[in-house]
Amino acid sequence: MKQFLMVAFALLISLIVGCGKSTPTDTVESLMMNPDRLKELRAQCKADHAKVGDAICGAVSEATRRRFMGDGKSPYANDPVPTPMPPTVPRVESPAKN
């Protein structure tokens, strides 16, 4: 009888813990690999951010940014900006004297 109560108690505890709020399974990396899921969640976040939650919408935002920007390195990031040439003033020639 004592073993039965212990098993029942352990089963009850596992059911209670299992019914708790789970952690989000959609990580930034998983969303980057699954563009259909990313598109779906982006639409949900746009429609009702409070319902979806900050954690998921933040992951959606970061995954979208990483997919668009890639690794963040731009081939143009370190190009020097050429210095502008000074403006040229047109020379006006004086009329020839006779």
pLDDT in tens, 77-88: 666 777 778 888
- pLDDT (tens digit per residue) in 2-15: 777 677 767 767 76
Give dist(CA 43, CA 33) in Å, integer: 17
Does the CA dihedral 52-54-56-57 come out positive or negative? positive
- Judged by DSSP in three states, 63 sits in helix
- pLDDT (tens digit per residue) in 23-56: 557 889 999 999 999 999 999 999 999 999 999 9
Q: Please state the pTM of the whole predicted model.
A: 0.52
* Residue in this structure with the two tokens 């990580």, named with its chain if needed: 27
Higher-confidence residue of 70 and 57: namely 57
Burial environment of residue 60 by CB neighbours within 10 A (0 to 12, 13 to 18, 19 or more): buried
